[in-house]
Structure 1
Amino acid sequence: MNALPATTPEATLASARRTLAIEAQALRDLEARLDDTFAQAVDMLLHCRGRIVVTGIGKTGHVASKVAATLASTGTPAFFMHAGEAAHGDLGMITAEDVMLAISYSGSGSELLTIVPVAGRIGARVIAMTGNPSSELARLADIHLDVSVAQEACPMNLAPTASTTTALAMGDALAVACLEARGFGPEDFARSHPGGALGRRLLTHVRDVMRQGDALPTVGPDATLSRALEEMSAKGMGMTVVIDENRHPIGIFTDGDLRRLIERRGDIRGLTIIEGMTRAPRTVRPDALAVVAAEQMDTLRLNQMLVLDENGALLGALHMHDLMAAKVV
């Protein structure tokens, strides 16, 4: 194995700064070049009645895959199609209602030049993203977006570096412009990301995480403290709800209430639950967002909160541990 050439931390940092400076300048140049053509491309994407088919090959293929994912997750239905696979059957996924976004820095890749005319004959519109406005791909497209760079960050000016950065940034600009035009908000984003933290926060309601049925500790107002403690131990919520004959809560008895009652009364064996419970417990509706309930519980320093229906009847109860297990907090 050949020995690595000698280097220094200073030389390494200088290389990194040079790369970042070149790519930052490429993005500034891209911003300065934006014109009405970009607005036309966004308008075409917004009025697409099918899907946005993003395609490329090699390094720009990786960029295309990310651009498709960003579009799809921000309200513009899209998917990635590998240009090489498209020429061998995957073009069958394209319809006349679609828009193809073809990415190639040179604009002369044989795979794209093979499939773009076919997509056009199918009836799909084509947006090309290249670094050469005079390229064949740019001429074939309905709209061309110029992502050219003065130089690559690669010292040999060969490896796609600054050029892939500008292509990726242009894809992000298209996605964000479409997002804003559609009025796509946090709840829309959450529906596209149900498994993520934002999705859990915006899509999880109280009814999804509350304890209910047999898992809910309840006693009547005449229950002894011994009976209440049995219920609390069996259900493991650190409390029991005190309900009337119509299942309306008249109070709550928690571990904290037990400690305070012992401090006040000493011997509590002969007491009933109504003598130690906290009246008018905090409540929430089942359709409230779990994260809002969690914030209220945190502010009020509560571990539990009761869930009532529109008539004030008990439906369930929240426990902070359950909210944490559901990754709402």
Structure 2
Amino acid sequence: MGLRQISGNTPQERLVLESIGRSLVTAAEGINALVARFAEDQELSRSLVDAVELIAKRSGRVVVSGIGKSGHIGRKIAATLASTGTSAYFVHPTEASHGDLGMITSDDLLVLLSWSGETVELGNMLTYAKRFNVPVVSVTSNSASLLARHSAVAVTLPKVRECCPHGLAPTTSAMLQLAVGDALAIALLERRGFSAQDFKIYHPGGKLGSQLLLVQELAHSGEALPLLPLGSPMGEAVIQMSSKGFGVVGITDDTGKLAGVITDGDLRRHMSNDLLLETVDAVMSHNPRVILGTELASAALEFMQAQKVTVLFLVDEAGIPSGILHIHDLLRAGVA
């Protein structure tokens, strides 16, 4: 592949660039091989579908295990499953042989990762699974391996070249295990209809948690709402806009629905000596931009930026205002 020229390329830097380039190409080739096998090999696609169905129908938890790099990948797969609605945890195979097998019940399911399929440390887990009728889903590259033969579902990945020039350090192979694990987790998520609101339950903290807040959780309501009915004098509108601090007032019709809004821009467009003698009907903007309280706060921010507004009224399904949201509320919550 072509080398990117960076300032001050030295022979050593060029060697580093070549190494990185080869590794990225090898990784991409590995993923492409997996995609091609999935598209062409019914055995692989069938095993993945069977794995999803088997996991989805179990009443217990998914117990993931593996040794070495497969173990590290297994921990990540277990974490992804758990965060997307499939109860899962990781058990180290050595610890399993020293008492942690007691954590596994007959209602559970084992997902065992081993590139060779002959990992000795998984032997006791296989024996335990057979004794207590715990189904096993294996992820290997060897369909004839001990692990694959003793699995209810054996997912066989294509043999790929490792990025390591000696073909020893698990790199591309680990990436394929991770890709399949993530694919299973997302397929289970979609099969269960796991929503963004469900996702929020498992991710209440940090940046992700703030983006999953609902608009109604950040909005102002009750007495804080700047609202006036149609026919109100503009003098009252100006007072509402100033006292409530949002720079806007919503105008409601006889049924309580939001009929329009008056903003600072509307005041400037209608500025005259007779402005305060007008009614809100003559000044307000019709078809105000609104949002449902059940929308995600991140969606509200995107909508505000697209519409170039800083304030949104919340309305219910009938169009009746229930709150007001300022872009500063989103910034304070860490949504942006």
Deviation at 1:211, TM superposition (A): 1.9
Deviations 1:181-204 (A, max 9, x none): x27476477557655888877772
Distance 1:153 1:174 in 2: 25
Q: Which moved more, 1:228-237 or 1:216-225?
A: 216-225
SS at match of 1:8: helix
Q: Kindly name which structure, 1 or 2, has the bigger radius of gyration based on alpha carbons.
A: 1
- The answer to whether 1:18 aligns with 2:22 is yes
Q: Which amino acid aligns with 1:289?
A: E
2:62 to 52, 60, 81: 52
2:264 to 236, 255, 258: 255
Distance 1:242 1:223 in 2: 11
TM-score by length of structure 1 reads: 0.74
Deviations 1:163-187 (A, max 9, x none): 212222332343355456x274764
Partner in structure 1 of residue 126 of structure 2 = 116
Deviation at 1:245, TM superposition (A): 9.2
Partner in structure 2 of residue 158 of structure 1 = 168
- The answer to whether 1:145 aligns with 2:145 is no
Distance 2:203 2:188 in 1: 21
Aligned residues of 1:251 and 1:277 also touching (Cα < 8 A): no
Change in 2 beyond 3 A, CA 1:271/1:15: same
Deviation at 1:159, TM superposition (A): 1.5
- The answer to whether 1:107 aligns with 2:117 is yes
Partner in structure 2 of residue 92 of structure 1 = 102
Deviations 1:43-80 (A, max 9, x none): 42333332221111221111112222333445544332
Identity of aligned residues (%): 36
Aligned residues of 2:107 and 2:134 also touching (Cα < 8 A): yes
Partner in structure 2 of residue 32 of structure 1 = 37
Partner in structure 2 of residue 237 of structure 1 = 246
Q: Which amino acid aligns with 1:89?
A: G
Aligned residues of 1:18 and 1:153 also touching (Cα < 8 A): yes
TM-score by length of structure 2 reads: 0.73
Distance 1:29 1:267 in 2: 74
2:323 to 299, 307, 316: 316
Aligned residues of 1:253 and 1:276 also touching (Cα < 8 A): no
Change in 2 beyond 3 A, CA 1:71/1:281: same
Distance 1:132 1:293 in 2: 49
Partner in structure 1 of residue 221 of structure 2 = 212
Change in 2 beyond 3 A, CA 1:294/1:133: closer
Distance 1:60 1:7 in 2: 35
- Over the aligned positions, Cα root-mean-square deviation in angstroms equals 4.1
Aligned residues of 1:190 and 1:200 also touching (Cα < 8 A): no
> Mind listing any 5+ residue stretches in structure 2 that lack a counterpart?
1-9
Change in 2 beyond 3 A, CA 1:154/1:307: closer
2:180 to 141, 145, 170: 170
Aligned residues of 2:65 and 2:91 also touching (Cα < 8 A): yes
Distance 1:122 1:312 in 2: 58
Partner in structure 1 of residue 137 of structure 2 = 127
Aligned residues of 2:291 and 2:300 also touching (Cα < 8 A): no
Q: Which amino acid aligns with 2:284?
A: T
Partner in structure 2 of residue 3 of structure 1 = none
Change in 2 beyond 3 A, CA 1:297/1:169: closer
Deviation at 1:102, TM superposition (A): 0.6
Distance 2:51 2:325 in 1: 49
Aligned residues of 1:95 and 1:123 also touching (Cα < 8 A): no
Q: Which amino acid aligns with 1:53?
A: V
Aligned residues of 1:217 and 1:239 also touching (Cα < 8 A): yes
Aligned residues of 1:257 and 1:276 also touching (Cα < 8 A): no
Deviations 1:216-270 (A, max 9, x none): 2345755672x544443332100234568986667643222332333xx2476x6
Q: Which moved more, 1:121-130 or 1:284-293?
A: 284-293
Distance 2:137 2:273 in 1: 80
Aligned residues of 1:251 and 1:278 also touching (Cα < 8 A): yes
Deviation at 1:126, TM superposition (A): 0.9
- The answer to whether 1:278 aligns with 2:284 is yes
Aligned residues of 2:83 and 2:199 also touching (Cα < 8 A): no
Aligned residues of 2:292 and 2:314 also touching (Cα < 8 A): yes
